[in-house]
Structure 1
Amino acid sequence: MAQGGDWQRDVLRQLGQHGTPDEAAGPAPASAEPTAPLRLTYPAQEPPADAGGAAAPGFPQRSDPAPPSDPAVRASRRPRLPLHTPESVPTVDPRLAHALGRPQHGDSVTRRTGRTLRKLTASATQEVAEETRIARELQHPVTTGRVIAVTSIRGGVGKSTVSALLGRTFNHYRHDPVLTLEADAALGTLPVRMGAESVRWSCADLAQILTPAMQLTDVTGYLVPVTDGGWLLPASQGRVGAPMDVRTYRTVTLALRRYFAVTVVDCETLPGEVARTAMDTAHARVVVAPMTAEGVNGTRQVLDWLAQLPHSALAGTVVALSANSPDATLDEKTAAAHLRETGVTVVRLPYDRHLAQGGPIRTAMLGRAARDATVRLAAEAMRLAARVR
């Protein structure tokens, strides 16, 4: 990567060329220049660091001189070859895949028809202005990769669903690479929600391979490409095994921030050790709270705990108040007000038939209310993450 150059242009060149790094380092043609007004530029002198400013161990400054002529030193900087190549494993057992059925639209036909008629008669000026404002938040240029951690107080409340929604939203709006990373237990559902048919490499596998010499094209060879853009790194192959440890999490997240503008991390539930580390070191945090009395009460306790962490953790947190049932009876305003007393922003994610169905998330099938809430949540998380220096 050229020092002081356009990081996004270098990324696109790496993805589009198959020559050696030396061949790819030549000047790009004028037609290859991105035309988007908001582009990610990466300062050549800044190494990856966590939210507290700690540099990734083993990763040199971008201004380091060329590798020395000593063969031993050059060999130490080459990408390490994997000790073994894991087999590809389907995310859903083929015997069960047919049971998923046809995806259901989040809104009923009646609701979609009524919205279309209202659009024909109402002025869209205010709506367009709001959508433009939110799009600018989502496309906010950053100078280092941002990490957004998603967690909850217990499983089954939509944490992986929210992570998948955020990853897809950033992929849609941003012009630079986005990674969705699973740091959950061995049987997490993020690969299924992201639409991955199979997985091979895991975080633990990649932690043993990553070196500072690897280029983006080297790294993406171990990731799962997402259908509508971006990449996915699962925590495992969907088998029961040892959960991810803190060392593996730190190694992978600090190293991959060199290549991705935004990394959405689907953490394990609190008070897991990896989840606590992720919440402490991320640039922004999303806590998914179920719209139940016990869910809101437990989430409030988590927020009080975040207030005691360094790096102003609570100031960089947003709560996603998720309705997993169409028959929720908890008063939404009272629940949101109870959480807002800590100073956080609360975004309500309404019940959506498509999300409740399970299986791969298809953005086009989301109901309008769920889609709008997801975009607002992503914009708020990006706004908080971009504030961290």
Structure 2
Amino acid sequence: MADEGDWQRSLLRELSEGGTSGMHLDPPERSAPEGQRSDPETVLPRRQAPQHTQPVIRGPRAPQVPVPAPESVPTVDPRLAIALGRPQHGDSMAARTGRSLRKLTTSAAQEVVEGTRLAQEIQQPVTTGRVIAVTSIRGGAGKSTVSALLARTFNHYRHDPVLALEADAALGTLPVRLGAESVRWSCTDLAQILNPSMQLTDVSGYLVPVKDGGWLLPASQGRVGAPLDVPAYRTVTLALRRYFGVTVVDCETLPGEVARTAMDTAHARVIVATMTAEGVNGTRVVLDWLAGLPHAALATTVVVLTATSPDATLDPKAAAAHLREAGAPVLLLPYDRHLAQGGPIHADKLAQATREAAMRLAAEVMQRAVKAR
């Protein structure tokens, strides 16, 4: 950690010089006293996201010919957006009432202590940006939902910039889950523009500011087109690591080429599996593949079992035990009515168990990412 101070000072200097590009970010706030900002009950935004402006590229390696800006495209067709309905709470009214009563008992103090411990693990300092890849063996497992929860949790508890990067060009849902109303620049577009002379304030002009904080880089504009390729993914992730303390990558499903590259090059990995026999069995195959990679990929991998239905019949303990045999920790993301509803994720609507699971996952993944190469 010897270079930690220099890296953070350099980052703060870039943030404070944001006026030349028409954008400004508040410097990271100081660490809160013990017990503050660690209660998993409420996840609130830490700062107001800056407005999107046209970026300015400085330096001798800037493009000689301006790159035409793509048109801004809504993430959800306006004709469909009006049909989303009112978001419901992940917990029932009875569950919320019972939790309020439990706060009056001694167990509430234990929850605060545990929340503080997890927050400290999530806030671990890094000397260079950490990349966390999230994938699954098949679609519908909830990897975009898990990616969005991770990005929101890291952004809430950490004091350095956090990026959610979508590496799934198959009409991925990460922008919708993060509440982005529209997208413009894609990962492939940015790969053609990035150069070493750019500062954070330049790069952020190409990104989507997330309402609750943090940044988003989509893989596409929600249209069927050329898929994201490995060279573009490598270019973007390697370049952006210097600007963001944590990058959460929502990958395509395995065994896609970009997903395999992301899993092989990330500092930590999250594999999302549904609470079904086929989901658990396929994920075990992936874990065995990771165990055979030349470096210790399995040691930096966490499995998330998602309950996509309240009527799941598979025994979660048996499923977790089967996956743990491969050597990776397994966490459960319980069924949440708000998440199952689809659409943007509202932090204040998440079930208490979901918030706690997101904190445990973020802490578990961060522990492994910090220790990685």
Q: How do 1:270-285 and structure 2 match up within 5 A? A: 270-285=254-269
Alignment of 1:69-218 (within 5 A): 76-78=60-62, 82-218=66-202
Taking the aligned partners of 2:301 and 2:331, their CA distance within structure 1 comes to 11
Partners of 1:131 and 1:95 lie apart in 2 by 41
Displacement of 1:15: 3.6
1:7-86 matched pairs, under 5 angstroms: 7-20=7-20, 34-36=29-31, 76-78=60-62, 82-86=66-70
Give the superposition deviation at 1:300. 0.3
One-letter code aligned to 1:35: R
Larger RCO: 1 or 2 (CA < 8 Å, sep 6+): 2
Letter in 1 for 2:333: L
Q: Is the 8 Å Cα contact of residues 186 and 237 (structure 1) preserved in structure 2? A: no
Larger Rg: 1
Aligned residue pair count: 344
Q: What secondary structure, in the 3-state scheme, does the structure 1 residue paired with 2:323 have?
A: helix
With over 3 angstroms needed to count, the CA separation of the structure-2 counterparts of 1:343 and 1:81, relative to structure 1, is farther
User: 1:379 is paired with a residue of what secondary structure?
Assistant: helix
CA distance in 2, matches of 1:279, 1:261: 18
**Is 1:313 aligned with 2:297?**
yes
Q: Confirm or deny: 8 A CA contact 1:186 1:240 kept in the other structure.
A: yes
**Contact 1:9–1:33 (CA<8 Å) still a contact in 2?**
no
Confirm or deny: 8 A CA contact 2:186 2:221 kept in the other structure: yes
1:204-243 deviation line (CA, Å, top 9, x unaligned): 1000000000000000000000111110000000000111
Shift in Å, 1:7: 3.9
The DSSP-based 3-state class of the residue aligned with 1:120 is coil
Alpha-carbon distance between aligned partners in 2 of 1:4 and 1:283, rounded to the nearest angstrom: 17
- What SS does the corresponding residue of 1:100 show, helix, strand or coil? coil
Q: Shift of residue 36 of structure 1? A: 2.5
Indicate how the Cα distance of structure 1 residues 32 and 293 shifts in structure 2: closer, same or farther if over 3 A, else same: closer
The structure 2 residue matched to 1:223, chosen from 207, 214, 220, is: 207
Contact 2:15 2:27 in 1 (8 A): no
Structural RMSD (CA): 2.2
SS at match of 2:104: helix
Q: Which runs of 5+ in 1 are unaligned?
A: 25-30, 39-73
CA distance in 1, matches of 2:321, 2:65: 53
Q: Amino acid of the residue matched to residue 367 of structure 2? A: R
Contact 2:149 2:358 (C-alpha < 8 Å) held by counterparts: yes
Q: CA deviation at 1:106?
A: 0.1
2:314 maps to 1:330:
yes
Q: Is the 8 A contact 2:4 2:126 kept in 1?
A: no
Per the alignment, residue 227 of structure 2 pairs with 243
Whether the 8 Å contact between 1:146 and 1:283 is mirrored in structure 2 is yes
Equivalent position of 2:366 in the other structure: 382
**TM, length-normalised to structure 2:** 0.88
Say if 1:79 and 1:210, in contact at 8 Å, map to a contact too. no
Which residue of structure 2 lines up, in the alignment, with residue 65 of structure 1? none
CA distance in 2, matches of 1:242, 1:283: 27
Percent identity (aligned): 76
Q: Deviation string for 1:24-68 (max 9, x for gaps)?
A: 9xxxxxx97953389xxxxxxxxxxxxxxxxxxxxxxxxxxxxxx
**Contact map agreement 1:9 1:34 (CA 8 A) in 2:** no
**CA 1:291 to 1:81, structure 2 compared with 1: closer, same or farther past 3 Å?**
farther
Q: Which amino acid aligns with 1:362?
A: H
Deviations 1:302-357, CA, capped at 9 Å, x for gaps: 10001011221111100000000000000111000000001110000000000000
SS of the residue aligned with 1:111?
Answer: helix
- Note closer, same or farther for the CA distance 1:155–1:80 as it changes in structure 2 (3 Å cut): farther
